[in-house]
Chains A and B, each alone.
Chain A
Amino acid sequence: MPTNGLVVMTPTSIAYSGTSASINADGSVDFSAVTSLSLNGVFTGDYDNYMITMRMEHNATTASSYEGVRARLRASGTDNSTASSYTGQFINAASTTVSGSRASYDFGFAGVAAWNANKHNGVQLSLFGPYLAQPTAARTTTISAYLGGEIYDAAWTHNQSVSYDGLTMYVTAVSFTGLLTVFGFNQ
């Protein structure tokens, strides 16, 4: 019998700031109007690589609101916020304009949430080796609802050789709403 390739990683617990968040019976996580959402116990020694699929909307009230959802890796309930330890390379395609940028911060990136009349944004966040005690690589592929449709992808690295079992996502303005599932790639 074939081995299942993708395994749902049900968080051992979650924490949030905002209106509500809960773990569903199938292991996915619903969140509503949160400013931060922490997932604990989703990365383990069973798997090296992970994928998080997420739909979300940004709860702003103007169409110009547009914000990246930030991410920090966490170990035993504590986020790693080491200065400049996360480096992100971005690529953005908006109509006929394509641009890039790179910068280092104390956070990584979970995707972009743009407000657009309650249309959802979609994100796939791939994480390579977060539980391994070595630097982590990550990649987001994003469908932003801004102006109907926009690409805003990021590749990012985190240079700390630390083992992480979780992830925090947060915004600095307003809040975000949606649903996510963490998958481990069987190996």
Chain B
Amino acid sequence: MAKNGLHLITPTSVSGTGLSITANGSVTMSGAQYMTINGVFTGDYDNYMIIIHADPASLTSWNMRVASGGTGENGSNYTVQSIYADSTTVGGNRTTTSYWQANYMDTTANGFIWHLYGPYLAQPTAMRIVDAGSRNGAYINDHAGTHSLSSSYDGLYVWAGATYSGRLAVYGLRK
């Protein structure tokens, strides 16, 4: 018998202005800027996929941390390698700081898929973002990131430089 491979996960709670959880488990965001998503990573799954479809009030980028017990891990333990295409300019860069910074978004038509590998496991976490952004009409800005601590995390702390509205959903990949 075939089994569902991808499960929509309901957060145990969210904190932040303009956030609510739907009956099925996604998070709607309306004028939000800082959000903590709790209890979405568990021992039931190793790997996760997060979809964010949101538009900000002004051009900005996302900032992300893994979180445990409602608190984002804020050490300088996040490294992100980016690759971007802006018209004919293609480039990349790598930074290490206290959060993953990702995905420029302009005020309409943005979405991305964020893969997280092993956040609940007490080992370093890997992530990958594949995005569609509207900066300059259309913009590619993909990211591969790591978080170096061997700790277990059950949630996320995500914020941006402007308020935003849209939807976030966390999915677990059956193991």
Interface residues of B in 46-63 (CB under 8 A from A): 49, 51, 53, 55
Rounded to whole angstroms, the CA-CA distance of A156 and B111 in the bound complex is 11
Q: Which residue of B lies closest to A101 (CB)?
A: B88
Q: Give the interface of A toward B (CB within 8 A).
A: 2-6, 48-49, 87-91, 98-102, 104, 126, 128-129, 134-139, 141, 153-159, 185-187
A102 contact set on B, CB distance < 8 A: 85-88, 136-138
A91 near B85 (CB under 8 angstroms)?
yes
A15 to chain B, nearest CB (A): 27
A5 near B85 (CB under 8 angstroms)?
no
Interface mask (B131-149 → A, CB under 8 Å = 1, otherwise 0)? 1111011111000000000
23 contacts between A and B (CB under 8 A): A2-B8, A4-B7, A4-B8, A6-B6, A49-B111, A89-B137, A91-B90, A100-B89, A102-B87, A128-B109, A128-B111, A129-B111, A136-B109, A137-B109, A137-B110, A137-B134, A139-B132, A157-B132, A158-B109, A185-B171, A186-B24, A186-B169, A187-B167
Q: Is B130 an interface residue (CB 8 A)?
A: yes
- 7 additional A-B residue pairs with CB within 8 Å, beyond A3-B24, A6-B6, A102-B137: A3-B8, A4-B4, A5-B4, A102-B138, A186-B24, A187-B24, A187-B169
Q: How many residue-residue contacts, CB under 8 A, span A and B?
A: 140
Q: Give the interface of B toward A (CB within 8 A).
A: 4-10, 22, 24-26, 49, 51, 53, 55, 83, 85-90, 108-113, 130-134, 136-140, 167, 169, 171-172
A158 contact set on B, CB distance < 8 A: 109
Q: Which secondary structure dominates chain B's binding surface?
A: strand
B134 contact set on A, CB distance < 8 A: 135, 137, 157
B140 near A2 (CB under 8 angstroms)?
no
A3 contact set on B, CB distance < 8 A: 7-8, 10, 24-25
B110 contact set on A, CB distance < 8 A: 128, 137
Given contacts A155-B131, A157-B132, contact A186 B86 (CB under 8 A): no
B49 to chain A, nearest CB (A): 8
